[in-house]
Each structure stands twice: as structure tokens, then as C-alpha cells.
Amino acid sequence: MLLSVNIFVSLDGVMQGPGNPDEDRSGGFDRGGWLVPHASTHTNEVVESWFRAADAFLFGRTSFGLLGGYWPKVTDPDNLIATKLNTLPKYVVSSTLTDGEADWNPTTVLRGAPADEVRRLKELPGKELQVHGSWKLVQTLHQAGLVDVYRLLQFPVVVGTGKRLFPDRSTPATFATVEESSRVLPGGVVSLTLNPTSLGAISGGAYAVDEGRSTPVLD
């Protein structure tokens, strides 16, 4: 399966607590719910398009608990997101979660080394293994070079503090934009689909004057 990371993010890269003030107050975060004023039918359509591609889900323990406390209560059969989350296989990376606590069926707790466990899951048949939220897990997957595609909805707000998708000292990487699925939505939210092209280094360059013209020179 292809591994996709699907994230709501602010202009300053924050992904913490987008949907509710009490969603994630860790670290004293008190600015939750920042995406709600910018949500629309257009953003909902994008998110539903993400979920249509899912054949399984991968979570860190915190996001598993947050989403598992909400989506099982959504029983509307026409809600695509709830249907996918409540019926498809779910995997949660945790060394402390018990099988009894992982009662959002069907769920499997992964207790081994996360990178090794995810490599094994990617070998299973299916379209996509999707990660939603799961900040700490995303850092691990990025550093291991396991993410095949990033899908971002970037909202026109600067949160100013909180967990960032790519925090300081993240592994350098370069991405290619998938143009057919990247666009600015009405209201200013940006939908981005990014494929990693290199990990561990980024190319650079400089501008130089050549015969009176400013010219980029790549390394």
C-alpha cells in the first residue's frame, strides 16, 4: 500500500488542535479550533477525496484516542469519513495501549519498532494506508523516508505556537507538487499534494549577474 500523510496545517506549519479548543492542549496549547472558521463545503470535498482512497488507517496513540472518541458516534450512513474510519482496518503505534483499550474495531496495536511495522504494512495489498494527525508518528515516518505522498490543507491563519508538521531540525527534503490535485479553494484555503523527491539534503543555488542579467545558478 502507498503511505499517505493527510494533514490540516496553518500558514506557520502548526497542525495541533485544528478542530476543537480541547482537542490537544498538550504543552499548554490554548489556540485549538483554528480551522473551524475557514471550513467549507470546498474543504469538506477535498477531505472526502482523501478518504475515498483509503484502505486502512495508521495512527499514533493520541490521535487514535481523539478520533476514536468522536467518529464511532457518527452513525449517519451517508457520512463517508465515518463509514471509512469505522469499518476499515486501523493500526495504532503504541507500546502501552492494551488490546482492550483499542476497542475501535477493527484495530491492531503495533508494539514493535514503528518503522519496521510500517514497512510490513506497506507490503499488504490495497490502495492507501493513511495517516491523519498523529504528529509524533509523522515525524518518525518522515525521518525514515516512508511517506509516499503528503496531502495538506493549509488554512489562512497564523497560530503562532504549537506542534508543527516539520519542526526545527526536521530531516531536509524536497517535494514535487502534484498539480492536478493542488489548488487554491474559495476562501483562501490551499490544497496541496506533494510527492517527496529527495530526503536528507536539499539543493541550492544563487543569483548572479551575467551580461547585465540576473540569472539563477544551481549548485
Would you state the pLDDT for residue 138? 97
Residue of 125, 146, 153, 126 whose CA lies nearest to 54: 126
Q: What is the mean pLDDT of residues 151-174?
A: 97
- Residue 118 sits in which domain range? 2-218
Residue of 41, 9, 14, 6 whose CA lies nearest to 193: 6
Would you state the pLDDT for residue 158? 98
Q: What is the mean pLDDT of residues 150-158?
A: 98
User: Strand 54-60 relative to strand 90-93: parallel, antiparallel, unpaired?
Assistant: parallel
Would you state the pLDDT for residue 78? 95
pLDDT at 142 over 90: yes
Helices (H), 71-172: 80-87, 114-122, 135-143
Q: What is the mean pLDDT of residues 63-70?
A: 94
Would you state the pLDDT for residue 201? 85
Q: Residue for cell digits 502548526?
A: 14
Q: What is the mean pLDDT of residues 135-164?
A: 97
Span 27-58, pLDDT tens digits: 999 999 999 999 999 999 999 999 999 999 99
Would you state the pLDDT for residue 156? 98
Give the rounded percent of residues in the chain with a pLDDT score beyond 70: 100
Which secondary-structure segment (H or E) carries 196? strand 190-199
pLDDT at 110 over 90: yes
End-to-end CA distance of the chain: 35
Total number of domains in the chain: 1
Q: What is the mean pLDDT of residues 11-18?
A: 98
Cis preceding linkage at 89, omega within 30: no
State the pTM of this model: 0.93
Would you state the pLDDT for residue 219? 82
Span 168-195, pLDDT tens digits: 999 999 999 999 999 999 999 999 999 9
**DSSP reduced 3-state for 3:** strand
Would you state the pLDDT for residue 154? 98
Please check whether residue 27 is in contact with residue 167, taking contact to mean a CB–CB distance below 8 angstroms: no
The CATH code of the domain that includes 142 is: 3.40.430.10
Mean pLDDT of the chain: 96
Q: Band of the pLDDT at 69, cuts 50, 70, 90?
A: very high
Would you state the pLDDT for residue 23? 92
